[in-house]
Amino acid sequence: MSTPAPTSNVHLWVRAEQRPREERVGLTPSGAAELIAKGFRVTVEESSQRIIPIAEYTAVGCETAPEGSWEDAPADAIIFGLKELPETGTPLKHRHIMFGHAYKGQASGRVLLDRLKAGGGTLYDLEYLTLENGRRVAAFGYWAGYAGAAVSGLAFAAQAKGETCPPVDTFPSAEAMAQAVRDALGGATPSALIIGALGRVGTGAADLCERAGISVTKWDMAETASGGPFPEVLEHDLFFNCILASPGCPVFVPESAKTAERNLRVIGDVACDPQSDFSPVKVYDHETSWAEPVVRAHDNPVLDVMAIDNLPSLLPKESSEDYASQLLPHLATLNRIDDDVWGRAKAIFDENV
């Protein structure tokens, strides 16, 4: 007797990312195949920049749609992307899965919530998909740390030549990224202090440093419990902040560090929240970019800060595969969207909208 095919009423629509040079995707072809086997309908938009070719999705049974056509998707489709939507101001009628950046007072976030309210849509924010203990079910943190340490290493190498860090672009692999830092350092072995070394972000930063020949001192909550000051930060060549700003967070790099006697030359603020009152790095006030990876906080002695806010995008293949594998078990429960992680995310949306 044959087993009946699984059934599901879920239509997952993977949209093309609109943010320039955003090559990541939250569902791989193998993951799509698993969902289709469970009875899901999966539509993947064509994309001019996605790291995974559309042919790999069609090969496993996905339907395709033109790039940017999600607004015309069936009303019951769940629209899945990573980064922000184009700011057209149109009402949003669908259920959306993405990083909304909408619940911490951001101006663009309020606009997004107003569009969803006007259209009757819903946001399931990827940042707020959590287990009952509050831990996020999926995160890009490891690759943020890895890439952040790499760009900071490149900045240190550039300083040694009397230069500033050149523009960066996507790397074909994590090993290629580490090799680029090794080559730039040319045998130099700078020292780095990582705060938050036991977390995903700090682990990624430490792994890059170890592959690139940067010696690492690993700190976490135990080492910072005193509340500071922390002269050890200034004794290292590089410092990586790998913890999110929050009330009560100690200051790791005060503004006075600019003119203090120090070995510190490069700060990799991977957490990158300079506008927050709680930021533990007080020597700069704005994010950096791929085109200008560092901001020079002080000239003599030189102090550069790397604060790129989309670091995992520099490694689109590894970061997509890792994130998608973490998220897939929860995407598979979208047929119970009112329960568990999805129900908690919906409750947060309802509170904020």
Type and span of the H or E element at 32: helix 29-37
Q: What is the spatial distance between Cα 277 and Cα 282, in angstroms, rounded to a whole number?
A: 9
User: Do 120 and 93 form a contact (C-beta atoms < 8 A)?
Assistant: yes
Annotated active-site residue in 38, 93, 101, 218: 101
Catalytic residue list contains 298: no
Distances, alpha carbon 158 to alpha carbons 164, 184, 243, 249, 336, in Å: 5, 8, 26, 31, 52
Catalytic residue list contains 101: yes
Taking every pair of C-alpha atoms in the chain, what is the biggest distance, in angstroms?
Answer: 79
C-alpha closest to that of 181 among 215, 219, 222, 209: 209
Q: What is the spatial distance between Cα 306 and Cα 82, in angstroms, rounded to a whole number?
A: 23
Burial 107-118 (b: 16+ CB within 10 A, else e): eebeebbebbee
Distances, alpha carbon 81 to alpha carbons 269, 278, 295, in Å: 26, 30, 30
Annotated active-site residue in 83, 93, 317, 330: 83
Residues annotated as catalytic are 83, 101
